[in-house]
Amino acid sequence: MGNTNHEVKAKFIRGFSNKTRLQILESIKNREKTVSEIVDDLKGTAKRYRQPH
């Protein structure tokens, strides 16, 4: 049981290891924003930050 808990925590933390995800979190930490506002903050395009399906 303890091992599974550690695995879940590790997966959660890995989710924040991506530079773009951290930039997005930083962008929205003080208020909700539209995708366009986030993209403007990151100075990129929405297509660049899309995750593949």
pLDDT digits (tens, 9 = 90+) for 28-51: 999 999 999 998 998 865 555 556
Please check whether residue 2 lies inside any domain of the structure: no
pLDDT of residue 26: 92
Q: Which two tokens stand for residue 3?
A: 């091992």
Please check whether residue 52 lies inside any domain of the structure: yes
pLDDT of residue 15: 79
Please check whether residue 11 lies inside any domain of the structure: no
Q: How far apart are CA 40 and CA 8, in angstroms?
A: 32
pLDDT of residue 3: 73
Q: How far apart are CA 47 and CA 39, in angstroms?
A: 10
Task: Supply the range of the domain harboring residue 45.
Answer: 18-53
Cβ neighbors of 14 (< 8 A, separation 6 or more) are none
